[in-house]
Amino acid sequence: MTTRFFIGTAQVDSLPANNRGLAYGDGLFETMRMHRGDVAWWDAHWSRLMHGAARLRLRLPDASFVRDQASQLFANEEGVLKLVVTRAGGRGYAPSPDSEPNWLLSLHPLPSKPREGGLALRWCDLRLAIQPALAGIKHCNRLEQVLARAEWQQDTIDDGLMRDHEGFVVCATSANLFVLREGGWTTPLVDRCGVAGVCRAWCMAELATTEARLNPEQVESSDAIFLCNAVRGILPVERLDGREWSPHSQVAALQARLAQVHPAFASHREVS
């Protein structure tokens, strides 16, 4: 892992001790796919970051400065680019609105290729709390995801589906969910919890998807499901606890389409 820290436009050795990312998770992040020095969906990532920053009233660094830094630091590299923007400031919850953003860029190895034939999922026990004020944005308060991901250690399970406190299905711990039912695609609403994924938005446009609340039975009785995120692209699902699905041509077609648009994801196609 290579990491660079910044305060505004100044590169620093480490973030100040009083930065509120460390204290309160008072920040936002983006996890992006870097391919030959280019960032897939950069504009969509930055746009979500701006939306989150408006919600948290968090000052962002300059977009072109961040992108230039990423290109200079990680030119021609392959991997996962992570941007974390936190609020500067002191002890106590009151944020100081004019503080220079404390931020970092880091490059991480690509995750391993998805399981041949499709992912194996489980249902998570931990329920997502309903909090419209934080729903949709990629903020740094992620203990729910940490606890949910800690529910299993076996590497026969790739991810877990999470429900909200009312029992509706929302997402996987680190991906969005798409479900094929009655001839149409549905993805859970992320208006009360969950993250409005960048790859989710791309898939929604490609598949003319409906956003809705889905219960577990609706997911289990669907004709196909897949997960997606901006690092791993489209991830077909083969099994969810006892339920199994065969590869579906619509998912394979979507993978092919993504590989066309973003060559970074060409190697991640499992079904052809």
Q: Is residue 120 a contact residue for a copy of itself (CB under 8 A)? A: no
Q: Is residue 148 a contact residue for a copy of itself (CB under 8 A)? A: yes
Q: Which two tokens stand for residue 175?
A: 């991906």
Amino acid letter for position 258: L
Q: Which of 54, 72, 92, 215 binds a copy of itself (CB under 8 A)?
A: 92
All residues at 6 or more sequence positions from 261 whose CB lies less than 8 Å from its CB, including other chains? none
- The least CB distance from residue 90 to a copy of itself, in Å, is 7
Choose the binding region for a copy of itself from 70-78, 136-144, 178-186, 243-251 (rule: CB under 8 A): 136-144
Q: Which of 57, 156, 182, 249 binds a copy of itself (CB under 8 A)?
A: 57
Q: Is residue 252 a contact residue for a copy of itself (CB under 8 A)? A: no
Choose the binding region for a copy of itself from 34-42, 126-134, 232-240, 264-272 (rule: CB under 8 A): 126-134
Cα-Cα-Cα-Cα dihedral sign, residues 252, 256, 262, 267: positive
- The least CB distance from residue 14 to a copy of itself, in Å, is 4
Residue 220: exposed, middle, or buried by beta-carbon count in 10 A (0-12, 13-18, 19+)? middle
How far apart are alpha carbons 163 and 168 in whole angstroms?
Answer: 5
How far apart are alpha carbons 107 and 90 in whole angstroms?
Answer: 28
In 116-239, alpha helices (H): 143-149, 198-207, 216-220
Residue 3 vs 221, nearer CB to a copy of itself:
3
Q: Is residue 74 a contact residue for a copy of itself (CB under 8 A)? A: no
Q: Which of 37, 60, 63, 90 binds a copy of itself (CB under 8 A)?
A: 90
Q: Is residue 54 a contact residue for a copy of itself (CB under 8 A)? A: no
How far apart are alpha carbons 65 and 214 in whole angstroms?
Answer: 41
Q: Is residue 50 a contact residue for a copy of itself (CB under 8 A)? A: no
How far apart are alpha carbons 171 and 257 in whole angstroms?
Answer: 23
Choose the binding region for a copy of itself from 86-94, 205-213, 217-225, 242-250 (rule: CB under 8 A): 86-94
In the chain, alpha helices (H): 20-24, 42-56, 63-73, 143-149, 198-207, 216-220, 249-261
Residues in contact with a copy of itself by the rule CB under 8 A: 1, 3, 5, 13-15, 17-26, 29, 31, 56-57, 80, 82, 84, 86-87, 90-95, 104, 106, 108, 111, 126-127, 129-131, 133-134, 139-150, 165, 173-174
